[in-house]
Amino acid sequence: MLAVFKRELKAYFASPTGYIFMGFFLLICGIFFAFSNLLTASPDYISVLSSITFVFLIVVPVLTMRLMSEESRQKTDQLLLTSPLSVTGIVLGKYFAAVAVFLLTLLITCLYPIILSFFGTIAVWEIVGGYIGFFLLGAAFISIGLFISSLTDNQVIAAVVTFSALLFIWILDWVIQGLPTDRISGIVFACALVVGVAALVYFTTRNIFVSVAIAVVGFGIIAGVYFANEYFFDGFIVRTLEWFSLLKRYENFMMGILSLSPIVYYITFSAVFLFLTVRVIEKRRWS
Amino acid sequence: MIQVIDVTKRYGQHVAVDHVNFTVEKGEILGFLGPNGAGKTTTMNIITGYISATEGTVKVEGFDILEEPEEVKKRIGYMPEFPPLYMDMTVQEYLDFVSDIKKIDRATKKRSMEKIMDLVKIGDVRKRLIKNLSKGYKQRVGLAQALIGTPPVLILDEPTVGLDPKQIIEIRSLIKELGKEHTIILSSHILPEVSAVCGRVIIINKGKIVASDTPENLSKRLSSAGRLSLRVAGPEKQVLKLVRELEGVKNAEVQGVKEPGTVDILVEAEMDIDIRRPLFYALSRAEYPILYMKSVDLTLEEIFLQVTTEEREVS
Ligand SMILES: Nc1ncnc2c1ncn2[C@@H]1O[C@H](COP(=O)(O)OP(=O)(O)OP(=O)(O)O)[C@@H](O)[C@H]1O
Ligand SMILES: [Mg+2]
């Protein structure tokens, strides 16, 4: 894992990717810092952190598009997968390399609040909390990008799909507000999910029995849950989609609240996507 | 050493490898011969654990690729069809990385890297970016990568493809040299190459093993259909007539005229008859001198045709 991590980190700075990521990130951060702190003489640095989340949409695809897709295009995955490394080790090495570049960039931006502290008092703990949230949010986005990169051997497709996925998450909170919360639509949505999963299984394995079995079990669970607790499906759509609402948890950090549950949430979120990435790679070898 | 047990690989409806069974003993160099799409690469990918078989399994030194993949992978050096090189690294960085992922001791790493670079002669390009190397050098780096950690088993997929003749000879003798310490499976399209280095040959076609023998036996079986190409100074019609009337000649065809006043013909003899001497005397008596005469190697396609039809006759 360490070998992959080191190689990947070096690769970021042997190509323009690492510099583009850092440069763009620092530029946007600097612009916001200048406008909301320096020019207005405001010590409220945390508002910078909360308003620049949109840069993730642009910089995360840059950071992650290459990670897995380039390996399969150049066939170097043959080297990694026939070495004694485990797939999990490979995926983690790559993930941590991307996270490390991000963390490094973030550390540089710490200069901004330090500059501010020369001119007045700043809310140190609030800013530290804000940074932790910002870091976890970015790390979660990177895990999505890594996952998408493992699905294709074309970097450009990986970048575009990652951008779309992040955009979806970014506007999710607005989308959720407009969704129905009644019981019927909740049940319909649950059924649609089951059908979707079954279809996905069918298209990846071409095994009709397994997918039908999944559908039957899924509907069984829905029926079971309904009879056990009919209120479960009230607002089910919203609750499901909220699971993906990364930004909502982020607001807590911005208000200076540092609690455990959003931290656990972000780490779990990343872990799930890393696990899925491992599964995709393992799966491809069986196809 | 290596046991391939009933391995089958299906891609949807398409069967790429079909119930393949063979074993390779320690110290053996096994040649894997077959036309495009025969399933050589697929079989090698399964042995090295890059892809999984649909059915069957592979054991290396008793370790099963499905149950203990790490133990198997530790014992195999693999040079795939396309060398898996990182273009943005120098040769040295790359081999260093490979040593790390193969978990080579820091203490022995430097020395073994030097030894391998010497062996495949890439020491003078060690500081260059891999992307700037020529095809032949990339191939060598690919081979060096497989040698790192001196694994007991080497799997080489078309190791000489794309090399110039001098390098082909070098790599072949290198493989022979390596065969003293490693068990090797190598694939190729070229029968003479396999005969030159391998102790045993497996011919595979459409995913099935169609023959498995030593190169000597195989060529004995295959050379019985003697075919000669010759250039004769003389008029086309008379020469052809003369040759065709000769005893033991099954067929003779004009291949063209490359030198004025001569004719090139391809002569096919009956089974087990050496027609070179009768041919020489007959033509010299008629005062049509033979300018050259050589036996024509069977092309791979013809070998397959022959091997497959032979098998059918037997069964
Ligand atoms: N990923 C894949 N998906 C579908 N079919 C595949 C895949 N990989 C290989 N095949 C098919 O499997 C068969 C065997 O291919 P393989 O690459 O093993 O042949 P080969 O003997 O190595 O040929 P060559 O001499 O051209 O290298 C071919 O018909 C090929 O089309
Ligand atoms: Mg091949």
Alpha carbon of B177 to those of A194, A219, B126: distances in Å?
Answer: 59, 64, 23
pLDDT for A251: 80
- Give, rounded to a whole angstrom, the gap between the first and last alpha carbons of chain B: 31
Q: What percent of chain B has pLDDT over 90?
A: 50
Confidence tier at B308 by pLDDT (50, 70, 90): low
At how many degrees (to 10) do helices B236-245 and B276-285 cross?
A: 130
From the alpha carbon of B9, which atom of ligand 1 is closest? 12
Contacts with A172 (C-beta within 8 Å, 6 or more apart), sequence order: A241, A244, A245, A247
More confident residue, A215 or B224: A215
Cα–Cα distance measured from residue A231 to residue A227, given in angstroms and rounded to the nearest whole number: 10
Domain with CATH 3.30.70.260 in chain B: 227-295
How far away, in angstroms, is B249 Cα from ligand 1 center? 40
User: Chain A residue with minimal CA distance to B86?
Assistant: A76
> Which one of the ligands is nearest to B190 CA?
1
Domain with CATH 3.40.50.300 in chain B: 2-221
Q: Taking CA A219 as the corner, what is the angle to CA A215 and CA A221, rounded to the nearest 5 degrees?
A: 115
Ligand 2 centroid to Cα of residue B193, in Å, is 16
From the list A10, A15, A83, the residue facing B101 with the nearest CB is A83
**What is the DSSP track for B74-128?**
HTEEEE-SS----TTSBHHHHHHHHHHHTT--HHHHHHHHHHHHHHTT-GGGTTS
Tens digits of per-residue pLDDT, A197-217?
999 888 777 788 888 999 999
Find the mean pLDDT for residues B114-131: 92
CATH number corresponding to B227-295 = 3.30.70.260
Q: Which residues of B touch A (CB under 8 A)?
A: 11-12, 45, 48-52, 70, 73-74, 76, 78, 80, 82, 84-89, 93, 97-98, 100-103, 145
Rounded CA Rg of chain B: 24
Show the CA angle centred on residue B143, arms to residues B196 and A284, nearest 5°.
110
Beta-carbon separation of B78 and A78 below 8 A: yes
**Residue ranges of A 199-258 with Cβ closer than 8 A to chain B:** 206
Write phi, then psi, for B3 (nearest 5 degrees). Answer: -120, 120
Fold of B2-221: Rossmann fold (3.40.50)
What CA–CA distance (Å, rounded) separates B6 from B17?
10
Smallest Cα distance from A14 to chain B, Å: 7
Task: State yes or no: pLDDT of A177 exceeds 60.
Answer: yes
For the whole model, what pTM was predicted?
0.84
- Annotated domain spans of chain A: 2-173+244-286, 182-234
pLDDT in the model for residue A155: 93
The residue of chain B nearest to residue A204, with distances taken between CA atoms, is B12
Q: How confident is the model at residue B97 (pLDDT cuts 50, 70, 90)?
A: very high
Q: Taking all residues of chain B, what is their mean pLDDT, rounded to a whole number? A: 87
A158 compared with A119, residue with greater pLDDT: A158
Which residues from chain B sit within 8 angstroms of residue A4, using beta carbons?
101
